[in-house]
Amino acid sequence: MLRIAFLYFILSCSFFSYAENGVQKLFKAVNNGVVELHVKALAQPNPSQAKYEVSTSDSLGSGALISQEGRILTAAHVIERATEIEVIFADGSKTSGHVVWVDALIDLAMIQAAHVPSKIKPLTLAKSGDYNIGEQVVVIGAPYGVSHSLSVGYLSGIRDREQIPGSTLIPRFLQTDAAINKGNSGGPMFNLDGEVIGIVSYILSNTGGSNGLGFVVSIDTVHTVMDSDPGVFSGFIPQLLDEKLAKALNNPYGYGMLIQQVIPGTLADKMGFRGGNISILIEHTPMLLGGDILVSVGGYQLKDLESAVKLKQRMSTYKKGTKVEFRFLRDGEEKTAIWVVE
Instruction: List active site positions.
Output: 77, 107, 185
Q: Cα separation of 103 and 169, whole Å?
A: 12
The helix, strand and coil proportions of the chain, stated in percent and rounded to the nearest 5, come to: 20, 40, 40
Single-letter code of the amino acid located at 285:
T
* Contact predicate 263/42, CB 8 Å: yes
Q: Cα separation of 76 and 41, whole Å?
A: 12
Q: Cα separation of 37 and 59, whole Å?
A: 8
Residues whose CB is less than 8 angstroms from the CB of residue 329 and which lie 6 or more positions away in sequence, other chains included: 251, 253, 256, 292, 293, 295, 335
Q: Cα separation of 307 and 165, whole Å?
A: 8
* Contact predicate 325/299, CB 8 Å: yes
End-to-end Cα spacing for the chain: 78
User: Under the phi-then-psi rule, with left for phi > 0, alpha for psi from -120 to 50, and beta for the rest, what region is 272?
Assistant: left
Contacts 24+ apart (CB under 8 A), 268-273: 268/234, 268/235, 268/236, 269/235, 271/326, 271/337, 271/339, 272/337, 273/236, 273/328, 273/337
Helix (H) or strand (E) holding 20: helix 2-30
* Contact predicate 159/181, CB 8 Å: no
Picking from 40, 27, 59, 86, the residue whose alpha carbon sits closest to that of residue 183 is 59
Residues whose CB is less than 8 angstroms from the CB of residue 16 and which lie 6 or more positions away in sequence, other chains included: none
